[in-house]
Each structure stands twice: as structure tokens, then as C-alpha cells.
């Protein structure tokens, strides 16, 4: 019998915690509002680290809280162009 893995409960990342990701997400949300307004704005969620001493994992999530895929690379939050590329890639 396989043990089930419970995915950790994500938390909503408040504005200002990751400034460049916030800025990149705002740019992306502005474009999405014009093309697919029915989906609502994307947002950032974070889960606790898998290993002690590691940083938490941040994800781009749909307005309803659904998320999947790889977490955002923390180094991408240091430059707006890289942050925008990371946010756009995670959105896909």
C-alpha cells in the first residue's frame, strides 16, 4: 500500500512580499484582463519548504486558487525582465 502525500496548504502571498514578482504579475494581469477577463487576476501562492532550512516555494495561481507546475525560481525576483519571464512561463 502506498502512502498518500498531502500537498501542503498554500498561503496567499500578500502584496509587497516579492516586489518584482508583484510588478510582473500586474503587467501580465493587465494583458489577461483585456484578452480573457472571465478568468480573473492571477495571484501568487506559497507553500512551506519541503526541507528544513530551504525557502518556501512560490507559484502563480488562478483567481480561484488552483495551481500546479514548478515553483518560481527565487533568483528571478531580482530583475524585472527575468521576473516577467518567470511569471509568464509559470502562467502557461
Cα gap 62→51, rounded to integer Å: 26
pTM of the model: 0.82
Cα gap 11→33, rounded to integer Å: 24
- pLDDT, residue 83, reads 95
- pLDDT, residue 50, reads 73
CB 90 within 8 A of CB 70: yes
CB 46 within 8 A of CB 56: yes
Cα gap 17→73, rounded to integer Å: 15
Cα gap 90→76, rounded to integer Å: 12
List pLDDT tens digits, range 11-49.
Answer: 999 999 999 999 999 999 999 999 998 989 999 999 988
Whole-Å CA distances, 2 to 5, 77, 87: 9, 37, 34
In the chain, where are the structural domains located?
27-91
Amino acid at each position: 500500500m502506498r502512502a498518500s502525500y498531502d500537498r501542503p496548504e498554500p498561503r496567499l502571498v500578500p502584496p509587497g512580499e516579492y516586489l518584482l514578482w508583484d510588478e510582473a504579475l500586474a503587467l501580465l494581469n493587465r494583458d489577461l484582463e483585456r484578452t480573457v477577463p472571465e478568468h480573473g487576476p492571477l495571484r501568487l501562492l506559497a507553500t512551506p519548504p519541503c526541507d528544513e532550512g530551504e525557502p518556501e516555494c512560490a507559484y502563480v495561481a488562478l483567481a480561484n486558487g488552483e495551481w500546479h507546475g514548478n515553483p518560481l525560481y527565487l533568483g528571478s525576483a531580482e530583475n524585472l525582465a527575468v521576473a516577467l519571464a518567470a511569471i509568464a512561463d509559470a502562467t502557461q
